[in-house]
Structure 1
Amino acid sequence: MAFHDVRFPASLSFGAIGGPERRTEIVTLASGFEERNSPWSHALRRFDAGMGLRSLDDLSAVIAFFEARAGQLHAFRWKDWSDHKSCLPSVAPQFTDQIIAVGDGQRRSFALSKAYRSGATVYHRPIVKPVAGTVHAGIGGNEVFVELNYTVDYGAGLILFHEAPEVGAEITAGFEFDVPVRFDTDRIAVSVSSFQAGQVPSIPVVEVRA
């Protein structure tokens, strides 16, 4: 399966329903206690693209996008409007948003990630599809600048500094990002009359590991 570096129309994903999905295996013991385990270290997100359609023109755009991806064959970018920034949805990303690493004086390449905190627990989500032109980076509390100090691999979510950050320096970053997804169906079934009556088709998409 190839990845097409193109985003599903953001205006149509705006009304989509979806979010993260975890997989938990639960075994109930004879004592009544449970043993719980997850084979996934990271969630997968699922969405229904059909919920964002408001007109036949929207439907036509989705069908064209679906055909260009050959159904489930090729993955693509998806804007998750509920979670697409390194910061709160109401503000713009800043270079101080996320601590992504600590310099060791040798490494120059660092992967983007987003921390989700609740109490003492922190989950770090890999960010592999940042949006071009939105990445800001800092070293040791000072902002550094793209091209002058570093480059960004927008296909893999990596920052490559021209010079290795010094030992102990916090590497920080702020960014917007997309989710790598594919269609979770090879078939779109829709009736024009039912669509005009308000019955939208179900067009599921699912996150892929990238």
Structure 2
Amino acid sequence: MAFHDVRFPDNISRGARGGPERRTQIVELASGAEERNASWANSRRRYDVAYGIRRADDLAAVVAFFEARNGRLYGFRFKDWADFKSCLPSQIPGPADQLIGTGDGSTTQFQLTKRYTSGAQSWTRIIAKPVAGTVTIALNGVPQPSGWSVSPATGLVTFATAPAAGATLTAGFDFDVPVRFDTDTLDITLDLERLGSIPSIPLTEIRP
């Protein structure tokens, strides 16, 4: 996957609009009943960052970022201010936030994940772009300051020694969303004061 490990400017992403998208096929029967089928097993995030442009300098920064990524060619990191950490928005990430696996005495690598739960239903999201320096790990609830490493490029946690069978592994972290521009054209409009604007700058998530 062609990817540049750089983050879209935070001051512009803060004003972006977007969120998760699902793909569902719905067939209406002659009786008026419905049959529904999920085309995608996992959701995909989409954003529009044009709403975060407030100054001419912001516009220039987006154009430079777009050109450096060759439009849709290269992916990059994006901070989704509505969902960027392993805990609730009002909390600080901690090592007990998310279950990432159970030891079996031989496995040394575990993928960072985040679980979304409502009632009896839940969905687990792969976290492939953790923010460097924010990941914390616990075994059976005990924080582990060493003995492991994490790849900021994949979200894989590697232990120097395989966790014992039955050991509960949890993690806390901040994370970015891997995205790409969903257009090869920036339609820029200059007003009388030469401030400029772009009606839409769509981004789409790159699935792991």
Q: TM-score range by the shorter chain?
A: over 0.9
What is the root-mean-square deviation of aligned Cα atoms in Å?
Answer: 1.5
Instruction: Write the deviation string for residues 51-80 of structure 1: whole angstroms up to 9, x where unpaired.
Output: 101100000000000000000011100000
Deviation at 1:92, TM superposition (A): 1.3
Deviation at 1:194, TM superposition (A): 6.9
- Number of aligned residues: 208
* Alpha carbons 2:56, 2:196 under 8 Å: kept: no
* Alpha carbons 2:56, 2:195 under 8 Å: kept: no
Pair 1:131 & 2:134 matched? no
Deviation at 1:22, TM superposition (A): 0.3
In 2, the alpha carbon distance for the partners of 1:159 and 1:50 equals 35
1:141 maps to 141
2:39 maps to 39
Deviation at 1:137, TM superposition (A): 0.5
**TM-score after normalising by structure 1:** 0.95
Pair 1:165 & 2:159 matched? no
Structure 1: 5+ residue stretches without partners: none
1:176 maps to 174
Distance 1:77 1:105, change over 3 A: same
Give % identity: 54
- Match of 1:35, as an amino acid? E
* Alpha carbons 1:195, 1:201 under 8 Å: kept: no
Instruction: Write the deviation string for residues 117-165 of structure 1: whole angstroms up to 9, x where unpaired.
Output: 10111111111110100100011111102xx310101111110011111
Pair 1:22 & 2:22 matched? yes
Structure 2: 5+ residue stretches without partners: none
In 2, the alpha carbon distance for the partners of 1:191 and 1:17 equals 20
- Match of 2:28, as an amino acid? T
**TM-score after normalising by structure 2:** 0.96
* Alpha carbons 2:23, 2:40 under 8 Å: kept: yes
Q: Is 179-188 or 31-40 further displaced after alignment?
A: 31-40
